[in-house]
Amino acid sequence: MDSTRIKMTENKLNPDSWVDQYADYLFNYAVARVSNAEIAKDLVQETFLAGLKSAKNFQGAAAERTWLIAILKRKVIDYYRKINSKKGKAEVRMTYSNQSDSAGDWLEENVADPFSTLENDEIENEELGLAIQECIAKLPKKQSSVFVMKTIQGFSTEDICNELGINPSNLWVMVHRARTSLMGCLNENWFKL
C-alpha cells in the first residue's frame, strides 16, 4: 500500500507493471459500460497501447491509474460512436406497452419513479466491486488465484486442483485463508448492509 502511495505522489509511468496493476481495474470499468467481455478486453488493450503512444505527453499531473482511466473513457465513447455511426441506430425507440390502451398518456407513464433507488444500486455495486478487487490484489498470489478461480470464475474444485497441482484439502485451506483475509480487509460497513 505504501509503495503505491509513493508512486502516486511521484506520478511516473511504468508501463511494465500496467497489466498487473491496472488490467483488472480497467477491465471492470469497461465491462460495466459496454457489457461485453470481449469488447471490454479489446478496449483495455487499446487503452494500454494508446497510453504507450502518448506516454511522452504525460505531465505527471495525475496518478497513472487516473490517466489510464481517462484514456479508457475516450475509448468507450469512440466505441459507441462507431456502432452508432449508421443513421437511425442511435434513435430512442419508445413503444407503447399496452396495445389496447394506446390512447393513454404514455409520457406520464414513462416518467422515472422518484422513489426508485435502482440507479444507486449500480453505483454501489461498482464501488463494492472495486473494494473487493483491491482486497484480492493484497492476497498472496496463490491464494488469490485459487479464490478467483473458485469464487469469481466458478471453476470446480477438481479442475482447480488439476490446474494448480494441489489436493482438495490444500485448496480449502487456501480458500479459508483468502476468505478470512477478505473479511478483515473489506470495510465493516459492507457487512452491515
Partner 1 sequence: MINCEQASTICNKKQYKEATLLERINLSLHLFICKACSSFSKKNSKLTVLCNKADLHLLSEQEKVKMKETIERSI
Residues found near partner 1 in the complex (CB under 8 A) = 15, 18-20, 23-24, 27-28, 31, 37, 40-41, 44-45, 48-49, 52, 125, 128-129, 132-133, 136, 145, 148, 150-153, 157, 172, 175-176, 179, 182-183, 186, 190-191
- Least spacing, CB of residue 143 vs partner 1, in Å: 13
Distant-in-sequence, close-in-space partners of 156: CB < 8 Å, separation ≥ 6? none
Note whether 162 and 106 are within 8 A (CB). Answer: no
- Least spacing, CB of residue 31 vs partner 1, in Å: 4
Q: How far apart are CA 70 and CA 25, in angstroms?
A: 13
Taking the least distance from each CB to partner 1, the nearer of 8 and 50 is: 50
- Least spacing, CB of residue 172 vs partner 1, in Å: 5
Taking the least distance from each CB to partner 1, the nearer of 75 and 150 is: 150
Runs of H (alpha helix) within the chain: 2-10, 18-34, 37-53, 64-84, 106-109, 118-138, 141-147, 157-164, 168-185, 188-192
Taking the least distance from each CB to partner 1, the nearer of 110 and 157 is: 157
Please tell me the total number of residues recorded for the chain in this structure. 193
